[in-house]
């Protein structure tokens, strides 16, 4: 009796497992096998966008430093002691066109003018005497030698001409003395600023001695380095007929624009006093050589009236951004640069849900965008999603409409 009680707890779990196994076998034998359902593969999920064809303007961007269009050394043409100097003739000072900047002691030159004028008076007296003498000589010759023609020397002609020449020389000396007197007052040839001053009142100066360095504020210019391929999109005076990358083999409009005197507009942007400002400029020329290190050509943009054109002055030495308006293009699409694939192609999603590799006529590639001509039918979109293992005609699914 005690042996049965000992084995009973072990037989109960074994019996439960046996009954479960028998029940599972009965259920499996009576159930029908599941049917295999095959689903069609619809391709990867992609995003596509519609970029309509239209008109776009090519914009060329560059950077450069503002520099004066004219810069000179202020030098005297006469010597003397500086008796007066304008307070504006200091570093950073502004001055207007024709303003007197410096005055040299004029007394010596005033005396020279007086002496020259006295010589003119003397020469005029001698000329009058020579005329009277010439008239007397002619009368005497006519009385003594009737019907005979006298020689120039006998008729006092050379003496009269010499007196006339003396008078002209004396008058020239007066003009020279007056000119030297005028040069004791140094005037500004343009409106501008003083970069550096090296003269003070009481200082003795000599002809040709640099007294100050001035630069013009009537105009400033920016040399903008550009790659060679950018020069075909706008006319540059001095470069002749620029090659148009879009019109290879056809006449370029740039030569006609240059012959008509057309200047390409440009917008100069920069910071002043913590705020961003813009100034209007124009392309006036290209510099004379290609930079040997960067292999770029510097295009010069000129800005008129940089001090009063905007709310803030465009200061010399400022680093600015320049945007040049290029040609207008018709029938181009503006795409993200990532939408362009290898060998200048794009992936097109058709309304039938397939991918087509389509050639693109790339007109211009920018930092983040590209301008291209692409033939698209109704309902076709350009795929933006990067894929691997792409084949022409493969199936794709559109994740949603991404349009512009």
> What per-residue confidence (pLDDT) applies to 263?
73
In-domain check, residue 361 = no
User: Same domain for 87 and 122?
Assistant: no
Residue 286: C-alpha distances to residues 212, 225, 234, 282 (Å):
30, 10, 12, 12
* CB contact set of 157 (below 8 Å; sequence gap of 6+): 134
> What per-residue confidence (pLDDT) applies to 308?
83
User: Same domain for 96 and 188?
Assistant: yes
User: Same domain for 100 and 188?
Assistant: yes
355 vs 366: CA distance, rounded Å? 26
In-domain check, residue 207 = yes
In-domain check, residue 27 = no
User: Same domain for 188 and 91?
Assistant: yes
Domain boundary (216, 239, 266) is at: 216
Residue 294: C-alpha distances to residues 227, 365, 367 (Å):
9, 20, 19
> What per-residue confidence (pLDDT) applies to 383?
95
In-domain check, residue 169 = yes
User: Same domain for 157 and 176?
Assistant: yes
In-domain check, residue 239 = no
- Number of domain units in the chain: 2
In-domain check, residue 145 = yes
In-domain check, residue 179 = yes
In-domain check, residue 346 = no
User: Same domain for 157 and 91?
Assistant: no
138 vs 146: CA distance, rounded Å? 11
393 vs 395: CA distance, rounded Å? 7
* Domain that includes residue 202, residue range: 70-104+184-216
User: Same domain for 124 and 179?
Assistant: yes
Q: Determine phi and psi for 303, rounding to 5 degrees.
A: -120, 120
User: Same domain for 191 and 97?
Assistant: yes
Q: Are 316 and 192 in contact (CB under 8 A)?
A: no
β-pair partners for 361: 373
User: Same domain for 74 and 139?
Assistant: no
User: Same domain for 110 and 198?
Assistant: no
CATH (domain of 212): 2.40.50.100
Q: Are 335 and 382 in contact (CB under 8 A)?
A: yes
Written as one string, the DSSP assignment of 225-286 is EE-GGGGGGS--TTS-S---TTSTTS--HHHHHHHTT---EEEEEEEETTEEEEEEEEEEEE
Compute the residue count for the chain.
404
Domain boundary (183, 201, 225) is at: 183
Domain boundary (173, 201, 216) is at: 216
User: Same domain for 140 and 200?
Assistant: no
CA-wise closest residue to 375 among 331, 334, 323:
331
> What per-residue confidence (pLDDT) applies to 138?
78
Q: Which residues of the chain have pLDDT under 50?
A: 1, 241-243, 247-260, 403-404
User: Same domain for 81 and 134?
Assistant: no
């Amino acid at each position: 009796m005690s042996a049965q009680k000992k084995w009973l707890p072990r037989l109960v779990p074994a019996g439960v497992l046996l009954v479960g196994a028998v029940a599972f076998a009965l259920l499996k034998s009576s159930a029908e096998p599941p049917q295999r359902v095959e689903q069609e593969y619809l391709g990867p999920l992609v995003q596509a966008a519609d970029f309509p064809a239209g008109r776009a303007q090519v914009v060329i961007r560059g950077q450069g430093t503002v520099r004066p269009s004219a810069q000179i050394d202020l030098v005297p043409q006469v010597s003397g002691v500086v008796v007066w100097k304008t307070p504006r003739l200091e570093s950073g000072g502004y001055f207007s066109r024709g303003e007197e900047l410096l005055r040299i002691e004029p007394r010596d030159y005033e005396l020279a003018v007086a002496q020259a004028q006295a010589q003119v008076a003397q020469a005029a007296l001698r000329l009058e005497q020579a005329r009277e003498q010439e008239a007397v000589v002619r009368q005497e010759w006519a009385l003594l030698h009737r019907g005979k023609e006298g020689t120039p020397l006998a008729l006092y002609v050379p003496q009269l001409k010499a007196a006339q020449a003396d008078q002209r020389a004396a008058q020239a000396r007066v003009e020279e003395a007056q000119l030297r007197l005028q040069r004791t007052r140094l005037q500004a040839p343009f409106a501008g600023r003083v970069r550096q001053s090296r003269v003070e009142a009481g200082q003795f100066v000599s002809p040709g001695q640099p007294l100050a360095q001035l630069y013009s504020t009537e105009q400033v210019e920016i040399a903008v380095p550009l790659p060679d391929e950018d020069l075909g999109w706008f006319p540059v005076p001095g470069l002749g007929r620029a090659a148009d990358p879009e019109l290879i083999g056809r006449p370029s409009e740039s030569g006609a624009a240059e012959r008509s005197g057309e200047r390409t507009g440009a917008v100069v942007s920069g910071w002043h006093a913590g705020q961003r400002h813009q100034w209007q400029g124009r392309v006036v020329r290209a510099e004379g050589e290609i930079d040997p290190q960067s292999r770029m050509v510097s295009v010069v943009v000129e800005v008129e009236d940089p001090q009063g054109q905007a709310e803030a002055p465009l200061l010399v030495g400022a680093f600015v951004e320049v945007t040049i308006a290029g040609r207008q293009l018709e029938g181009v699409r503006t795409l993200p640069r990532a939408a362009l694939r290898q060998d200048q192609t794009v992936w097109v999603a058709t309304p039938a849900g397939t991918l087509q590799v389509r050639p693109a006529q790339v007109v211009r590639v920018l930092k983040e965008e590209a301008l291209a001509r692409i033939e698209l039918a109704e309902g076709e979109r350009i795929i933006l999603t990067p894929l691997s293992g792409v084949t022409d005609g493969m199936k794709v699914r559109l994740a949603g409409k991404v349009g512009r």
